[in-house]
Chains A and B, each alone.
Chain A
């Protein structure tokens, strides 16, 4: 079974600084997709960024970028120029190719200090 591990239950960062959230996953599949979701206190789940496993290039969305290391099965999220609105729970998620099922990690709570 696929598993997703987020080893940092909590992280904090100063406003305008950069922070990296870690995620590793376990799979024997070659076709899969990886995601980072944000859950602010409002509870709404918001997709931050996604990566197709077959793409070597790391995905980037404005201040958010990933470091996808396929051999190491690592998928970290880097947030640059952190803003107060980035404070939230961040969930890493995995989806096997051809499957509807999204497997989540346990989340990392990010605090942004002014």
Chain B
């Protein structure tokens, strides 16, 4: 069974549309994350949730809204998509404790046309 699963794997859409990416982890972890990997492969944290509470919000535009219905799920909704939003978005999770390793999903490649 996949530990951290995110859907869809690929998402192609037009500018201005609204889209969501879903993430689920079956590891019983308390903390979940969204990371963005740009076209140059640079990875940067966007959000972190611990037990459904927002912990980190890294100056991400308001068009990006994470939602955590329970601690096993962290979805990412993006409004009014722009060309610059094209990237690979990774969901990740970890157990409590900062030395715990992150388990990553396989990524969602978003292409905005």
Contact = CB atoms under 8 A, between A and B. Distances in A.
A52 B48 contact: no
Most A CB atoms within 10 A — which of B88, B101, B109? B101
A100 B33 contact: yes
A91 B41 CA distance: 10
Interface size class of A (residues with CB under 8 A): 20 to 34
Contact of B41 (A42, A98, A107): A107
12 contacts: A33-B99, A35-B101, A42-B106, A43-B106, A43-B109, A45-B90, A45-B104, A91-B43, A101-B45, A101-B58, A104-B44, A106-B40
Interface of B: 31, 33, 40-45, 48, 50, 55-56, 58, 88, 90, 92, 94, 98-99, 101-102, 104, 106-107, 109
